[in-house]
Amino acid sequence: MDENTQPVQNGQEAPAEGEGEKKKKSLGRELMEWVEAIVIAVLAALLIRSFVFTVVRVDGSSMNNTLANNDRLIVWRLGYEPERGDIVIFAPESKNVDTNVLDRIYWVKRVIATGGQHVDIDYSENAVYVDGERLDEPYIAEPMDPPQSPNTITSIDLGEDELFLMGDNRNNSQDSRYIGAVKKEDVVGRAVLRFWPFGSFGGVK
């Protein structure tokens, strides 16, 4: 045995001087690379969720029978422009909303009319008219009951940046009939997919 070589238990030669230090540096570098990769992945996920799509949970029954309480939805955000019939997520202006519903930071409703259009609601006919055209609404849960408040909006002209939104469960929905038109800038995006519960997995319309 060479006098400069120290024996080790597994019968291999001991590492040369400085080799252990190199391994420590290599391990440290690898650890930093993992940390950087994780940070980049988290930031990418946050950016995608902020600008491309997000995930929400339905709270309440205002969209029955189309959506149910606790449904989980994927909401598309990137480049979205609201169109009639879309189901959208939006943030209502708190000054127009009863305090007992402020727990719902974001609401889900259906777009009935868009900027520049005129809306009329005829409760006696259970009908909604947009620019004089009666809407075909097979999605509503049941016929509308007469409004209980004299302040209920039954006719409105929308500004160019405004939307008229209503729930599919017309008799249990706090919507544009009560809070007024919603600004397009307050819309988060369009609900495109329900992924929970699994039995109801599919597109939203």
Asked if residues 146 and 158 have their Cβ atoms less than 8 Å apart, the reply is: no
134 shares its domain with 110: yes
Residue 109 annotated as catalytic: yes
User: Catalytic: 184?
Assistant: no
Answer yes or no: is 5 within a domain.
no
Is residue 9 situated within a structural domain? Answer: no
Say how many domains are in the chain: 2
| Residue-wise pLDDT tens digits, 91-148 | 887 544 443 333 447 899 999 999 999 999 999 999 999 999 999 999 999 999 998 8
Q: Is 168 found in the same domain as 136?
A: yes
| Three-state secondary-structure class, residue 33 | helix
CA distances from 173 to 14, 16, 22, 50, 60 (A): 77, 76, 67, 28, 9
Q: Are strands 162-166 and 182-183 parallel, antiparallel or unpaired?
A: antiparallel
CA distance 148 to 125: 17
Helix (H, G, I), strand (E, B) or coil at 164: strand
Same domain membership, residue 118 and residue 174: yes
Q: Is the pLDDT of residue 71 over 80?
A: yes
Indicate which residue of 62, 173, 176, 184 is catalytic: 62
Set 109, 173, 176, 184: catalytic member: 109
Question: 167 and 115 share a domain?
Answer: yes
> Structural domain of residue 115, as residue ranges?
54-203
In a domain, 130, yes or no: yes
Q: Please check whether residue 199 lies inside any domain of the structure.
A: yes
d(CA 113, CA 46): 32
Q: Is residue 8 part of a domain?
A: no
* Predicted TM-score of the model (pTM): 0.73
